[in-house]
Amino acid sequence: MTQYYWHAHHDILCESLIEPIQNRIDYIKANKPKHEVETRLRLLKPVQHPESLPKEWMEADAKWMEAEAKWMEAEAKCLPEIEKLHKEECPNCPWDGRTIFP
């Protein structure tokens, strides 16, 4: 059964996650501003009554997660080719693999 969470990301109220929740917790602890960590972890919690979520929304969320998983798989497979094209089309770009603001 899909597990839904409140506040897994600061700008999304409710969502399911592809990865285990511990991955998100570890990411927050390691990468988020120190003054945000306590609030993020306090509010990050499983939805206690997922059966009460609107069915239409849950179906759309499932499609979104499936599409995201396919996208992540395709990106991992195709990233070298994408990066090669990027180097050709965006010379002197500061992209470091995660951001244009390294």
Closest alpha carbon to 23 in 49, 47, 44, 2: 44
Closest alpha carbon to 25 in 46, 56, 48: 46
Entry pTM = 0.75
Q: Check if the beta carbon of residue 28 is closer than 8 Å to that of residue 71.
A: no
pLDDT band at 102 (very low <50, low <70, confident <90, very high): confident
Q: Which residues, 6+ apart, have CB-to-CB distance to 43 below 8 Å?
A: 6, 7
Reported as a single tens digit per residue, the pLDDT across 39-92 is: 999 999 999 999 999 999 999 999 999 999 999 999 999 999 999 999 999 999
